[in-house]
Amino acid sequence: MSLAQFFHYQNGQLHCEDVALATLAKQVGTPCYVYSKNAIRENFQSFRSAFERVDPLICYAVKANSNLSILRLLKEEGSGFDVVSGGELFRLMKIGADPNRVIFSGVGKTVDELKMALEMSVLSLNVESVEELETLISLSREMGVFPDISLRVNPDVESPTHPYISTGLREHKFGIDLDRIEHITALLKETQSVRLTGLGFHIGSQILDVQPFMDAFTILLKVAGELEAEGFKIEHLDLGGGIGIPYQDEDEPDLSVYADLLAEHQGDRRILFEPGRYIVGNTGVLVSTVLYRKAANEKTFLIVDGAMNDLIRPSLYQAYHEIRPLHQKSEDSMVVDVVGPVCETGDFFARDRRLPPLDPGDLLAVMNAGAYGFVAASNYNTRPRAPEVWVDRDHFEVIRERESLEDCIRGEG
């Protein structure tokens, strides 16, 4: 997988596939999200081939980028889906996804959401607590259904990532503590209302080292063995998402050692994955126009028309995103803060970044914005959300229109 292939300079102009981003931006306006359709396909295929030996069911994590066109594309590629809300399930209904390839995860499913998943009869409901299991059991009884469930285990494994997106430690709200499994199995033995078919974990996101996944897998195997000794049949192991991508110059994770371990121990169990970022992270950019180059006492600010409401990752996780000018310039010559118009000091895309000289009217791309970009956009400061566009070779298509100001106030009295 090479980002260079899909976003590259040609005659000094940054292209997405065969489309010059500046040409696209002229027609669509800025800020706008642009995705490479073929990069999404290629990432999906590369994930599949990395784990080919274990023949997994890949359930794309809808939360990473839930645009209907992207979901349809992944469905065509043979992907299943992982959702965490009724809203995401609704999207899957809209694209006619096969419920038998859908996992419903999440720590706080409401009764209505559980009902929706039960009516659809999804492949697995990933249960995250004793309390949720109790609700699910009574709901299943009421509805006269007999759903397959999986337990999301909290393996208490540390993962090297930002603390806000690390989820596999005991202190985190996610998953079932290992010492509560016994309680759960007692409940499961008593009930005839749900069927335990799987175990899973999701230890966090943007993890570039495979060791924590392998540690968690080893723990999961142990739990599976214990449950099987008690008479449960664990048909699948859901290894979550979380595999990271390089944003700066980090090495890509070595998936082959992980795949080896899985192949050695999977037995007749099916492996499930829930990748999000790996599939779409490097396939999108956020294009913005420079409004001002503001000289201040301590700093130079490049004020652009995109902002934290469009892409919140730098503000929320101090995440690094490469920034490239749309028109290639010879030298990096200025050190600037790239900031948006939102009234918060935390509204920035980059700080103290060395960039080529950029002037008002110039365009730039915030790279690797395909995952957790548009999906986390808001109308803060009553800023309409940016459009989403995708490129397929030499043509592009708007796959979500820019919001209007009327859209922003819809439903208000």
- Where does this chain bind ligand LLP (CB under 6 A)? 61, 63-64, 82, 105, 165, 202, 205-206, 240-243, 274-278, 313, 317, 371-372
Q: Is 343 a catalytic residue?
A: yes
What is the 8-class DSSP label of residue 383?
Answer: P
3-class SS at 114? Answer: helix
CB 193 within 8 A of CB 141: yes
Q: How far is the CB of 161 from ligand LLP (least distance, A)?
A: 8
Q: How far is the CB of 272 from ligand LLP (least distance, A)?
A: 10
The rounded distance, in Å, linking the Cα atoms of 361 and 358 is 9
Token pair for residue 140?
A: 């299943």
Q: Which is nearer to ligand LLP, 126 or 140 (CB)?
A: 126
The rounded distance, in Å, linking the Cα atoms of 106 and 185 is 20
User: DSSP letter string over 12-64?
Assistant: TEEEETTEEHHHHHHHH-SSEEEEEHHHHHHHHHHHHHHTGGG-PEEEEEGGG
Helix (H) or strand (E) segment spanning residue 292: strand 284-295
The rounded distance, in Å, linking the Cα atoms of 258 and 249 is 22
Q: How far is the CB of 319 from ligand LLP (least distance, A)?
A: 6
Q: Which residue is catalytic, options 16, 32, 59, 343?
A: 343
Q: Which is nearer to ligand LLP, 321 or 383 (CB)?
A: 321
Tell me the β-bridge partners of 396.
391
Q: How far is the CB of 318 from ligand LLP (least distance, A)?
A: 11
Q: Which is nearer to ligand LLP, 178 or 375 (CB)?
A: 375
Q: Which is nearer to ligand LLP, 275 or 340 (CB)?
A: 275
Q: How far is the CB of 231 from ligand LLP (least distance, A)?
A: 28
Q: Which is nearer to ligand LLP, 155 or 276 (CB)?
A: 276
- CA-nearest of 301, 287, 289 to 335 is 301
Residue positions annotated with a catalytic role: 343
